[in-house]
Chains A and B, each alone.
Chain A
């Protein structure tokens, strides 16, 4: 049981480049989400999904796209990277929306550190 796996762990991009951060979970979780963490600002929700084929915007969705073609995978795409997207990105999943109890406690990946020059 690998839990939530994020790749890559580190990435450096130039302004304007595009890339995809991968997130995969093997726990049959319906709910998956992407957060970014910046110093002094905590975690902010980018996009989330309550099941395959369903996605919704979080607090800071601009500049990012997501898709959920399978239950296991929830990739985050940066369309045209900007220095403001330099951050640490976390993927998290749970069986249902994060109610915090039992199976709905969020499981986090180890993070992907992105630098945009």
Chain B
């Protein structure tokens, strides 16, 4: 059974810092991995998708990497801003469903 773990559970940084969020999964036979953002009281918004054959994807200040062999993905956020404050979740595809991690709560202080 696929299990997805995210570390740290919470992170507080000053504005402008570069930061890394971690995601690990137990079964390396994944189809793809996605990173989502969730704002308080809202649903999830897809940020980045990495196919199993890819090593990284970039969107603006966000860069996600994937190392299937070690069962790890990282989300790198450059020059963090207060507007980046949210919960970040990673999820791997297993058949017709997604398996989610518990998320990292990020707070960027101005």
Contact = CB atoms under 8 A, between A and B. Distances in A.
Contact of A44 (B34, B44, B100): B100
A109 B44 CA distance: 8
A98 B98 contact: yes
Nearest to B43: A108
B97 A98 contact: yes
Size class of the contact patch on chain B: 20 to 34
A28 B47 CA distance: 23
A45 B43 contact: no
5 contacts: A42-B6, A58-B97, A90-B44, A101-B51, A106-B44
A92 B46 CA distance: 12
B96 A111 contact: no
A42 B45 CA distance: 15
Given A40-B102, A100-B49, A90 B97 contact: no
Contacts of A40: 9, 102
